[in-house]
């Protein structure tokens, strides 16, 4: 990608959609050049966009559309429960409605919404022109959109999931949910989760590496810290759910009994995997919202945030704590009381880092001079509602209280106080706060205030009284309200409140549309904020910064109020466009010293096509067209390989000018470019998935009825040794290729071909072991787990073979040289991980086989 053909930008300069006369001053020649390089093509070309501003907006709009769908479902629930013995819909439809309400709000609204906000804002806050992996952002968006569409299409066709958003098995097993409904959930949500994992890798690498020079970790805006912790949590929080979904789908489709208690499985394993994800999920949703509050509160209070470093410590603690308390969703499943008390203590402990944040925000507000505005109104709404939700959360963490309140409407009230208070209100505040940034238009506040009061009062009317409904004993998920228990009037009040709240949201949507259409041009930094995102033009240009600033404090705009104008004039790094490259700076993780220049990929349809191919794979599984699945999978592999052709350099450039007298190498010529870091964090998520699988095996061994299984597992000698040797050989050959590169790229290519063959051999051995040692995996969970572990190993061997082959091709095609060896280093990470995982897997299989008969000793 040394020279790229530049498409002409229509009208030479891509104007923002409206074509307003009062645009910022004429663009400089450099800016026009940047515009041409970074612009998303018009027409159908829009589908090829990889730009963070464009994709961030699309994520936010799509999430809001799904929010509206989820809201309509909520209204149907409230219509059903408004009066006793309502025959609005039958229980079969009602079950679909509440299952989809939860699923849509959690997976299709909350997570994509903050992803969108982070994607839109973070590069601008950090002083980068885009994220590390723009095409991955686009792939994530399409996977999210297609996965979500599958779920909504199922809803429209009346075959939506109906086993609850938590999908407890055996209710969701093929015995008790024989239809397609549960498959829609398992496959659709997993499809969407691809985007969550992609976003987690993207955000982690970008926050750590893609910042303005001088922005050390300690000078990052707090929002970046919040998202960094969130992304880290996503890397280890989502794999258990993905694994659980895969295992349950395998049980439904191939009868592998992971959760079937009659064959050594255990329904409790699903609950552990689900809540191991599900509880951190609550903090994954709350932390970004808290991050945006921490961004807005000091600006609105006109006072710097109190306790920057304490907040960092508090949210890091929260991130770790949140993985130690999933069992509080399971206080009634019969876990020993002392163990429950441990999780209860861990649960209430979360109140401490949360309390630290709340009081530091209050302190900031009290120390400053807050001005009343619509964002501030929503911040106040957040405080009042979220604190209530936190307090009822502590109540529910108290074991004996939970035995009473669990699965009643009290919990429904609590979780809405937490999620609406802790997420929706901050998002609404952020919407009004950042609207001028997105649209470049001045906010108008008359309607916003009315919307706030409708939402705030409607919310409390709905959910405050719902605490009472729950304490009066009404269980969750009842399709009708029976008469004579005193449950009728609180339900009616809730329903009325719900409709008031909906009116508020409708007004909000109308208000936003009106402001986009009719608002007046805003001045550059309407709130007087001091962070970098307000140094861009508003609405932002596709390249975000005409020049990349140097940063020396947490408040660059206070240091230099005219920074935005200076950057427009090109006073900064990388101000001169060249070669049609999308360039941005990459810095050292801790010290923020510029390290190299990253050349980012330009708009391409590959992410869209790849997502379509993945969609075909998902649909083939959904409709049980298994002959199509391998075809789709080959297509996905082929398309992903095509991504590689657009990345990298075919010649050595040496240090290039980055402006301001600085010369830096290109990303292809450094030891650890973003791809290396991306692979590392992807492997963290991958290892978590593998660890969850092994946890599952050990859990079943210890807890499930019907162990040990019918016959002990014997690993056949020849293929086992073959697997071990070839996996290790692949890792060593991958390393050797890296060492060989300076001498000869042809030798390196040959070594990589050998590595690919070794990987393929390892995958073959793993399949052979599974076929000979576990002929009937449907017999017992021990067999099923063994096959899953061997399948994991085989899959990694197969991917390793493809990656090694790709490395060999890149050596021969000129992408690799003595200086440009990072590709092979990134591949070596995979080869090394695969060898380690294979070793661990074999140890696990042998160990589980030896342990199986010993369970009597562990469980008297």
Partner 1 sequence: MLAGSSAIFLFVSALLALALLKPGLGANVPPKRWLVWGGLAFPGVVLSALLVFALATGERLLPHPGTQAYTVEALPEQWLWRFRYPGGGESVGTLHIPAGQPVDVRVIGTDVIHSFWVPRLGGKIDAIPGHVNTIRLTADRPGSYGGVCSEFCGTGHTGMIFTALAHEAEGFEAALAAVLSGEAPR
| Subset of residues 157 to 196 that bind partner 1, contact rule: CB under 8 A | 163-164, 168, 170-171, 176
Q: Distance (Å, rounded) from C-alpha 511 to C-alpha 446?
A: 9
Tell whether residue 625 is a contact of partner 1 (CB under 8 A). Answer: no
What's the closest the beta carbon of residue 478 comes to partner 1, in angstroms? 4
What's the closest the beta carbon of residue 140 comes to partner 1, in angstroms? 32
How do 594-600 and 656-659 pair as beta strands?
Answer: unpaired
Report whether 292 contacts 354 (CB < 8 A): no
Report whether 252 contacts 259 (CB < 8 A): no
What's the closest the beta carbon of residue 787 comes to partner 1, in angstroms? 21
Q: Distance (Å, rounded) from C-alpha 351 to C-alpha 527?
A: 32
Task: Please identify, using beta-carbon distances, which residue of 303 and 672 lies nearer to partner 1.
Answer: 303
- Piece of 123-131, 229-237, 351-359, 417-425 that binds partner 1 (CB under 8 A): 351-359
How do 656-659 and 662-664 pair as beta strands?
Answer: antiparallel
DSSP 852: G
Q: Distance (Å, rounded) from C-alpha 535 to C-alpha 563?
A: 6
DSSP 122: H
Report whether 254 contacts 215 (CB < 8 A): no
- Piece of 387-395, 685-693, 815-823, 826-834 that binds partner 1 (CB under 8 A): 387-395
Task: Please identify, using beta-carbon distances, which residue of 404 and 772 lies nearer to partner 1.
Answer: 404
- The helix/strand/coil state of 160 is coil
Tell whether residue 360 is a contact of partner 1 (CB under 8 A). Answer: yes
Total number of residues binding partner 1 (CB under 8 A)?
77
Task: Please identify, using beta-carbon distances, which residue of 48 and 169 lies nearer to partner 1.
Answer: 169
What's the closest the beta carbon of residue 847 comes to partner 1, in angstroms? 24
- Piece of 398-406, 539-547, 565-573, 708-716 that binds partner 1 (CB under 8 A): 398-406
What's the closest the beta carbon of residue 23 comes to partner 1, in angstroms? 37
Question: Which residues, 6 or more positions from 21, have their beta carbon under 8 angstroms from its beta carbon?
Answer: none
Pick one of 401, 445, 453, 699: the residue that binds partner 1 (CB under 8 A).
Answer: 401
What's the closest the beta carbon of residue 505 comes to partner 1, in angstroms? 24
Task: Please identify, using beta-carbon distances, which residue of 267 and 490 lies nearer to partner 1.
Answer: 267
**Count of beta carbons in the 10 Å neighbourhood of residue 710:** 12
Task: Draw the binding track, 405-434, toward partner 1 (x: CB under 8 A; -: no contact).
Answer: -xxx--------------------------
Task: Please identify, using beta-carbon distances, which residue of 346 and 689 lies nearer to partner 1.
Answer: 346
Torsion angles phi and psi, residue 406, rounded to 5: -55, 140
Tokens of 533: 């995102």
- Piece of 135-143, 378-386, 652-660, 663-671 that binds partner 1 (CB under 8 A): 378-386
Pick one of 4, 65, 75, 349: the residue that binds partner 1 (CB under 8 A).
Answer: 349
Report whether 590 contacts 217 (CB < 8 A): yes
Task: Please identify, using beta-carbon distances, which residue of 92 and 671 lies nearer to partner 1.
Answer: 92
Report whether 389 contacts 412 (CB < 8 A): no
- H or E stretch covering 294: helix 267-301
Pick one of 72, 153, 254, 352: the residue that binds partner 1 (CB under 8 A).
Answer: 352
Task: Please identify, using beta-carbon distances, which residue of 569 and 855 lies nearer to partner 1.
Answer: 855
What's the closest the beta carbon of residue 244 comes to partner 1, in angstroms? 15
Task: Please identify, using beta-carbon distances, which residue of 240 and 368 lies nearer to partner 1.
Answer: 368
- The helix/strand/coil state of 829 is helix
Within 64-93, the residues that bind partner 1 by CB under 8 A are: 90-92
What b/e sequence results for 429-447 when a residue is b if at least 16 CB atoms lie within 10 Å of its CB, and e otherwise?
bbbbbbbbbbbbbebebeb
Q: CB-side exposure of 825: number of CA atoms within 13 Å? A: 18
Torsion angles phi and psi, residue 657, rounded to 5: -70, 135
What's the closest the beta carbon of residue 487 comes to partner 1, in angstroms? 12
Q: Distance (Å, rounded) from C-alpha 320 to C-alpha 315?
A: 9
Residue bearing tokens 């298994």: 626
Report whether 382 contacts 358 (CB < 8 A): no
Tell whether residue 387 is a contact of partner 1 (CB under 8 A). Answer: yes
Tell whether residue 528 is a contact of partner 1 (CB under 8 A). Answer: no
Within 231-290, the residues that bind partner 1 by CB under 8 A are: 261-262, 266-268
What's the closest the beta carbon of residue 163 comes to partner 1, in angstroms? 8
What's the closest the beta carbon of residue 756 comes to partner 1, in angstroms? 44
Pick one of 341, 553, 772, 776: the residue that binds partner 1 (CB under 8 A).
Answer: 341
Q: Distance (Å, rounded) from C-alpha 137 to C-alpha 581?
A: 19
Q: Distance (Å, rounded) from C-alpha 425 to C-alpha 100?
A: 22
599: β partners: 583
What's the closest the beta carbon of residue 370 comes to partner 1, in angstroms? 6
- Piece of 14-22, 274-282, 703-711, 733-741 that binds partner 1 (CB under 8 A): 703-711
- Piece of 103-111, 391-399, 607-615, 659-667 that binds partner 1 (CB under 8 A): 391-399
Task: Draw the binding track, 466-505, toward partner 1 (x: CB under 8 A; -: no contact).
Answer: -------x-xxxxxx-------------------------
């Amino acid at each position: 990608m040394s020279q790229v053909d530049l498409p002409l930008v229509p009208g030479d300069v891509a104007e923002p959609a409206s074509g307003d006369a009062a645009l910022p001053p004429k663009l400089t020649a450099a800016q026009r050049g940047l515009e041409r390089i970074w612009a998303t093509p018009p027409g159908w070309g829009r589908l090829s966009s990889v730009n963070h501003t464009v994709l961030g907006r699309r994520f936010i709009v799509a999430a809001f559309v799904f929010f509206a769908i989820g809201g309509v479902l909520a209204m149907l629930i409230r219509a059903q429960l408004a009066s006793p013995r309502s025959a609005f819909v039958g229980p079969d439809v009602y079950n679909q409605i509440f299952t989809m309400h939860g699923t849509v709000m959690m997976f299709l609204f909350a997570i994509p919404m903050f992803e969108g906000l982070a994607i839109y804002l973070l590069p601008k806050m950090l002083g980068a022109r885009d994220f590390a992996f723009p095409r991955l952002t686009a792939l994530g968006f399409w996977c999210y959109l297609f996965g979500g569409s599958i779920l909504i299409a199922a809803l429209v066709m009346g075959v939506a999931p109906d086993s609850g958003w938590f999908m407890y098995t055996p209710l969701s097993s093929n015995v008790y949910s024989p239809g397609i409904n549960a498959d829609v959930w398992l496959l659709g949500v997993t499809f969407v989760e691809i985007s969550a994992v992609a976003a987690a890798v993207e955000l982690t690498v970008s926050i750590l590496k893609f910042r303005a020079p001088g922005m050390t970790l300690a000078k990052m805006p707090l929002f970046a810290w919040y998202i960094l912790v969130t992304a880290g949590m996503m890397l280890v929080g989502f794999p258990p759910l993905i694994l659980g979904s895969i295992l349950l789908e395998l049980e439904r489709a191939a009868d592998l009994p992971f959760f079937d208690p009659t064959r050594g499985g255990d329904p409790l394993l699903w609950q552990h995997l689900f809540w191991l994800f599900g509880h951190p999920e609550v903090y994954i949703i709350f932390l970004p919202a808290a991050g945006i509050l921490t961004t807005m509160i000091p600006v609105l209070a006109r006072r710097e945030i109190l306790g920057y470093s304490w907040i960092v410590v508090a949210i890091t603690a929260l991130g770790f704590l949140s993985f130690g308390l999933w069992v509080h969703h399971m206080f009634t499943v019969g876990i020993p009381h002392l163990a429950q008390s441990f999780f209860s203590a861990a649960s209430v402990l979360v109140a401490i880092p949360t309390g630290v944040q709340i009081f530091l925000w209050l302190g900031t507000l009290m120390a400053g001079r807050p001005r009343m505005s619509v964002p501030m109104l929503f911040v106040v709404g957040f405080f009042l509602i979220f604190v209530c939700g936190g307090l009822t959360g502590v109540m529910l963490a108290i074991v004996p209280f939970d035995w009473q309140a669990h699965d009643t409407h009290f919990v429904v009230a609590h979780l809405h106080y937490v999620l609406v208070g802790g997420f929706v209100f901050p998002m609404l505040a952020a919407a009004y706060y950042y609207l001028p940034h997105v649209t470049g238009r001045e906010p108008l506040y008359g309607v916003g205030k009315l919307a706030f009061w409708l939402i705030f009062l409607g919310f409390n009317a709905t959910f405050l009284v719902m605490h009472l409904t729950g304490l009066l004993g009404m269980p969750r998920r009842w399709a009708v309200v029976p008469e004579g228990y005193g449950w009728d009037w609180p339900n009616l009040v809730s329903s009325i409140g719900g409709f008031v709240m909906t009116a508020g949201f409708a007004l909000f949507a109308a208000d936003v549309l009106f402001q986009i259409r009719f608002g007046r041009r805003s001045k550059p930094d309407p709130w007087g904020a001091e962070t970098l995102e307000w140094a861009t033009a508003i609405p932002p240009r596709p390249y975000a910064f005409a020049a990349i600033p140097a940063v020396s404090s947490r408040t660059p705009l206070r240091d230099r109020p005219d920074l935005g104008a200076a950057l427009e004039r090109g006073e900064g790094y990388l101000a001169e466009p060249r070669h049609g490259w999308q360039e941005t700076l990459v810095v050292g993780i801790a010290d923020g010293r510029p390290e190299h220049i990253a050349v980012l990929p330009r708009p391409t349809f590959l992410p869209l096509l790849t997502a379509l191919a993945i969609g075909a794979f998902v649909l083939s599984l959904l409709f049980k067209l298994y002959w199509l699945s391998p075809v789709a999978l080959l297509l996905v592999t082929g398309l992903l390989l095509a991504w590689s052709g657009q990345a990298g350099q075919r010649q050595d450039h040496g240090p290039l000018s980055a402006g301001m007298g600085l010369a830096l190498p290109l990303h292809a010529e450094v030891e650890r470019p973003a791809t290396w870091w991306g692979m590392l964090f992807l492997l963290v998520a991958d290892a978590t998935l593998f660890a969850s699988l092994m946890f599952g095996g050990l859990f079943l061994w210890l807890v499930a009825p019907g162990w040990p299984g019918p016959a002990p597992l014997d690993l056949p000698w020849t293929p086992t040794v073959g697997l071990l040797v070839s996996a290790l050989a692949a890792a060593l050959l991958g390393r050797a290729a890296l060492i060989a590169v300076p001498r000869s790229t042809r030798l390196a290519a040959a070594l990589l071909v050998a590595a690919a063959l070794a990987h393929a051999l390892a995958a073959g051995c793993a399949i052979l072991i599974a076929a000979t040692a576990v002929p009937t995996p449907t017999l017992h969970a021990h067999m099923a787990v063994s096959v899953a572990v061997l399948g994991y190993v085989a899959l990694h061997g197969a991917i390793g073979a493809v990656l090694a082959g790709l490395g060999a091709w890149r050596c021969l095609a000129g992408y690799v040289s003595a200086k440009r060896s990072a590709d092979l280093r990134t591949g070596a990470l995979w080869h090394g991980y695969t060898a380690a995982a294979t070793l661990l897997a074999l140890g696990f299989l042998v160990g589980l086989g030896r342990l199986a008969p010993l369970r009597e000793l562990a469980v008297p």
